Amino acid sequence: MKKFCGFFLLVLLFSLIFTACREPQKTYTLFYNTNGGAPIESVTLISSQPAPLPVPQNGDLEFLGWYLDNEFKERVPEPLFLTQDLIIYARWNLPDQPLPPKTKANVTVRLQGEEDIVYTVDINTALPSLPQYQRDGYHLFWYTDEFFSRPFDIKKPIEDDIIIYGKWTAIFKTNLLEGELIGLTEYGKTLSAIAVPDQIDGVAVTKLSKDCFRKCENLIELTIGKNVSQIAARPFSGSDKLENIFVDEENPNFTSISGTLYTADKSEFIAFPKAKQIGQFVVHSNTVAIRNDAFGNCKFINSVLLPSGLQTIDIQAFSDCYAEIIFSEGITAITQNAFSGYKGQNITLPNTVTLIEEYAFKNCVNLKTITLSNSLETIEEMAFYGCADLEQITLPASLQVLDRLAFFNCVKLEIITILAQQPPELIGEGAFYPIDAVIYVQDLALYQNADGWQDIKSLLRQIIQSKYLFF
């Protein structure tokens, strides 16, 4: 065993000697030019050994470092490994020695939560680009101070070393406990295109609150994210430049048709963008409900064709809308406040309508004529409240009930013609208060003696039948 170990050590020794003989280590000499300072002896080193960089002495002068050239354009890197013989030059802070012009600058990009990134650029050239960071629901702004008071201009040439500080600015106001967008920040309101993100800070965005995009005066295009499942009333009120509303293809709850917004099954029409320009808009045949403010303030649409299956028109759905409304046969009721604030001049109701609910045509201040259904049975309280331009109206033979203040504040209404043979039931007092119109009826004596009609008998007149042969 001892003989075997001795033999092994001998073989190892010869191997090391052979290797050393085959690959001799290279050596280089480093010379120190101290430029007037105390001399420093040159050193000879192997290539893998870092070179010493001693600090020379030169009286009271301050040593500024070692350079690869005597014009001090390029500093000696640390650590220094020799690949050839080399002279390095000491630089001193001489009172009459001007500093050489700086040719490079370091730009440090700093963002909380991220590692610093350092770019080296030529002096007096602009930074080509900034790193791209993503955070849903935020926009990243850059500043030249840590207090975020001096914005960084990427087009401006870099003149010296600089640190650029990033700051995330929110686009949305949120209630993340409910996954809800409740509005836009002041910055968000400056944007012309907005995409509702799938999530913000790790929380899925599922709700758009009432008036969420209210008065976003620069908004032109909006895309709704895939997780949104609830959209409250009047989400786009006052966004008068909005042209298109799109929906993420993966959203199972809502859909977009030609830039307009529906529920996924198209049973509810939610919004027509207020600045969208179109001749006639045809509401989908599956639609049974039109939501609040759906056509509000839409000034660039000529007409709207409503489907026969429509059941509900929500409050102020056509507020400040000038489009002609074209009804299909089938709708049976004009629901409460449906056309409140409508700005069109003429309306013709289909003959399937039997009920006009309270405030249905409230404050339709431009309405001059309305043709009622020949199946209409009930006009509820204040149905035509504030129709200030309405001068005459004909109530059909089918009418059975006329509620209080039905024509309240219709200040220009002068002629009311009632074709019902039997006087409709007047509910409450003042169905025609405070107007002073002439009311033409089929049977003057019958009306004058009917309950509730005695109080306005002075307004009643007998219809001249030949005048209404077209009924």
Query: What 3-state class would DSSP assign to 25?
Result: coil
Q: Are residues 75 and 116 in the same domain?
A: no
Inter-residue contact 349 to 326 (CB < 8 Å): no
CA distance 384 to 364: 8
Task: Identify the pLDDT of residue 47.
Answer: 85
Q: Is residue 15 part of a domain?
A: no
Q: Is residue 5 part of a domain?
A: no
Q: Are residues 230 and 241 in the same domain?
A: yes
Q: Is residue 12 part of a domain?
A: no
Q: Are residues 122 and 238 in the same domain?
A: no
Task: Identify the pLDDT of residue 10.
Answer: 54
Q: Are residues 280 and 214 in the same domain?
A: yes
Q: Which two tokens stand for residue 372?
A: 């009622």
Segment (H or E) for 11: helix 2-22
Q: Are residues 165 and 53 in the same domain?
A: no
Q: Are residues 72 and 113 in the same domain?
A: no
Q: Are residues 74 and 199 in the same domain?
A: no
Alpha-carbon distances, residue 89 vs 27, 57, 84, 180, 339 (angstroms): 21, 13, 16, 66, 88
pTM: 0.72
Q: Is residue 305 part of a domain?
A: yes
Q: Is residue 150 part of a domain?
A: yes
CATH number, domain with residue 360: 3.80.10.10
Q: Are residues 260 and 177 in the same domain?
A: yes
The domain total for the chain is 3
Q: Are residues 200 and 164 in the same domain?
A: no
pLDDT in tens, the chain (471 residues): 445 445 445 545 555 444 444 556 789 999 999 998 999 999 999 988 999 999 999 988 999 999 999 888 889 998 899 999 999 999 998 876 666 778 899 999 999 999 999 999 999 999 999 999 999 999 999 999 989 999 999 999 999 999 999 999 999 999 989 999 999 999 999 999 999 999 999 999 999 999 899 888 999 999 999 999 999 988 898 899 999 999 999 999 999 999 999 999 999 999 999 999 999 999 999 999 999 999 998 989 999 999 999 988 998 899 889 999 999 998 899 999 999 999 999 999 999 999 999 999 999 999 999 999 999 999 999 999 999 999 999 999 999 999 999 998 898 999 999 999 999 999 877 777 777 789 999 999 999 999 888 888 888 888 876 444 433
Q: Are residues 78 and 147 in the same domain?
A: no
Q: Is residue 132 part of a domain?
A: yes
| Domain, as residue range, for 75 | 22-92
Q: Are residues 274 and 336 in the same domain?
A: yes
Task: Identify the pLDDT of residue 427.
Answer: 87
CATH number, domain with residue 61: 2.60.40.4270
Q: Is residue 470 part of a domain?
A: no
DSSP string of 289-346? Answer: EE-TTTTTT--SEEEEEPPTT--EE-TTTTTT--SEEEPPTT--EE-TTTTTT---SE
Last residue of a domain, one of 150, 170, 190: 170
